[in-house]
A and B are shown apart, each in its own frame.
Chain A
């Protein structure tokens, strides 16, 4: 952080000056480690053992924040007796399916209820609910939504059926299961696996636990040093377990902080350009159980918390997209949304380019010809396209691979034989457009335009607005059913200046949301 986010690191140093203990866990001794109170140089990729060791240290020594754990986590809840841990099944948890190489999470449920039973089908008998649950967990796998397992917690109806042991002594309560599972990560094991002295681990464990109680909290910050491991999700989940046991979630100064690397990478997650999400983390619908808006909401909403308002969020988005065309009578045009049926992320897109399914590709300030994994596949995929649009500042590799790429040099590809039509459109810089970035602390900041972009350079706001305008004009009068979502789209933003730049402020107002009378919302509720 001292090297990659030096200006943000000033706050860490300020905290240290005020008495905070700074610990740096990194195989390398960097400037961050040099300034830390403690540097823990673990072997690369051994974070699960380290975090597991900390969890075991907490549970083994009774150092959890008991009152918090009992009242704000599911530690007291009793799990189905069908659940088997890895000790019982030679390394696998119960529910492993060889055919899909994935887990069916049936046996992991709370005793007495089924968290994963399809919402809306909960009134059915136990057998149907069980089958619906199995089907649902399979669908979650098939549509790449396994990460949603257990999200939003149990339903209010189910809460009455939960069995809890607030003494945390029941052998099948979550707390005891955790305790047994993590018992393996003893300080000696951690020292062996992580390649650090046992005393250093104990020093770390003492520092973390002594600083986590009613009056103090500990925060964890991570970046791609965690996420880019194949088991990155487990690292972050393990850190979540640790922080919950210590009462460090949802309290001032606690938490797990993802340090994000690019100006608005958080923004492109919240207001997503991601295949499985709509703005505000609404899921993209899939065809299995999202036939109507009601089914979609029933499948993903919750009885408690903000997700209890999911229907309002979905309807607001559909109204923002399709305006007057979206009415209660036509399910607010829910049917206009395309459906996802699996993983449609960028690496699958490259496969689809190689097999000829994907024929047109827009690159908006991204350079996969050198910036993505398997850059060669990226270039070969682009060489199999009908057309490619590259929007960037300069002639990046993703724009010129047909002329000077490594495959041209090696003779594998011949320029004359490549049929891809390439459009290079120069892009405007952040100083040449209005707009907002969402920074790593999830704060939106507006940047004001200073000058006009030079020549043909335009903002992406300009490009996508005017492209949509032209497509809509060309499709006007079409009677094809598939063109209705395009023609009914609410796509009018005021423009200004000789270049007819659309108003970023109007788009931000639309993202923010409006009252029925058209005025901007001033609160999330």
Chain B
């Protein structure tokens, strides 16, 4: 083993040599680089594509760029083109990738039958059919056409919905539209909690 292999990778020595010999007196240029640094490529440079998006956390509405490689989100950064945020994200927004790629995300439908003690698997298609059946049955069972004074109510108080405030406008619109057609008036949102 020669001197070079033994001592040169030692950062202090490398930085000292760069400062003295390389003109990097502040130690922020060549001194801070290593072979590994030079071999690194940013994920945003190797991404297949980038989608313009909006931060899902607070309502400031910072622009995000979502980088995708091999159909996976590989990085989310601030969008410099956004007039709201000018490329900036707060620490929470800058960690959005950890929200959307979180290992704790469930990706399968789970079903708990009445009085059941464990989750069971259920096909998405079957689940959708079962939920539609529940809505129809509960609505029929709880339908109130008129109140005790004979006034028209045309509603069910048997079905309610509560949504979060990260639902898109379009999603809210469909929830209210379908709920109203079904006569479900208890359609609510985090907006009033």
User: Which A residues contact B (CB, under 8 angstroms)?
Assistant: 4-8, 10, 259-275, 278-279, 284, 287-288, 291, 321, 335-341, 344-346, 348-349, 352-353, 357-368, 371-373, 386-387, 389, 392-395, 399, 402-403, 415-426, 429-433, 435-441, 443-452, 454-461, 464-468, 470-471, 474-475, 481-482, 485-486, 489, 491, 504, 507-508, 510-511
Contact = CB atoms under 8 A, between A and B. Distances in A.
In this complex, the interface size class of chain B, counting residues with CB under 8 Å from chain A, is 35 or more
Contact of B159 (A358, A419, A420): A358
Contacts of B20: none
B189 A447 contact: no
Given A263-B58, A403-B117, 14 more contacts: A4-B58, A10-B88, A274-B187, A275-B188, A346-B192, A387-B134, A394-B104, A403-B112, A430-B54, A448-B52, A468-B178, A474-B133, A485-B182, A491-B178
Interface of B: 49, 51-64, 66, 68, 71-73, 76, 84-86, 88-90, 93, 99-100, 102, 104-119, 122, 124, 127-136, 138-139, 141-143, 145, 147, 151-193
A419 B154 CA distance: 28
Given A268-B163, A466-B128, A394 B185 contact: no
Nearest to B182: A486
B105 A454 contact: yes
Question: Which among A421, A436, A459 has the highest number of chain B CB atoms within 10 Å?
Answer: A421
Nearest to B169: A267
A511 B168 CA distance: 12
A413 B159 CA distance: 23
Contacts of B60: 5, 7-8, 439-440
Contacts of B172: 264, 267-268, 271-273
A433 B188 contact: no
B53 A447 contact: yes
25 contacts: A7-B62, A7-B93, A8-B60, A8-B84, A261-B58, A262-B166, A263-B54, A263-B56, A263-B59, A273-B175, A278-B180, A338-B184, A341-B153, A346-B160, A362-B161, A421-B113, A421-B134, A423-B127, A423-B130, A437-B166, A439-B61, A440-B58, A451-B73, A467-B131, A489-B178
B171 A460 contact: yes
Contacts of A321: 177, 180-181
A454 B107 contact: yes
Contacts of B108: 426, 455-456
B132 A474 contact: yes
A265 B192 CA distance: 9
A339 B152 contact: yes
Question: Which among A344, A366, A459, A481 has the highest number of chain B CB atoms within 10 Å?
Answer: A366
A361 B188 contact: no
B176 A278 contact: yes
A349 B188 contact: yes
A266 to B, nearest CB: 6
Contact of B106 (A278, A372, A394, A422): A394
Nearest to B71: A451
A226 to B, nearest CB: 15
Contacts of A358: 157-160, 186
B107 A372 contact: no
B152 A335 contact: yes
A481 B52 CA distance: 46
Contact of B180 (A337, A421, A437, A491): A337
Contact of B59 (A262, A450, A511): A262
Contacts of B89: 7
Contacts of A275: 185-188
Nearest to B78: A7
Contacts of B118: 403
A250 to B, nearest CB: 23
A438 B169 contact: yes
B186 A349 contact: yes
Nearest to A265: B165
Contacts of B88: 7, 10
**4 tightest A-B CB contacts, nearest first:** A435-B168, A439-B61, A455-B107, A365-B164
Nearest to B110: A424
B85 to A, nearest CB: 5
Given A287-B153, A461-B171, A264 B180 contact: no
B97 to A, nearest CB: 9
Contacts of A486: 181-182
Nearest to A361: B160
Contacts of B114: 418-421
A468 B154 CA distance: 18
B147 to A, nearest CB: 7
A437 B168 contact: yes
Contacts of A10: 86, 88
A366 to B, nearest CB: 4
B164 A262 contact: yes
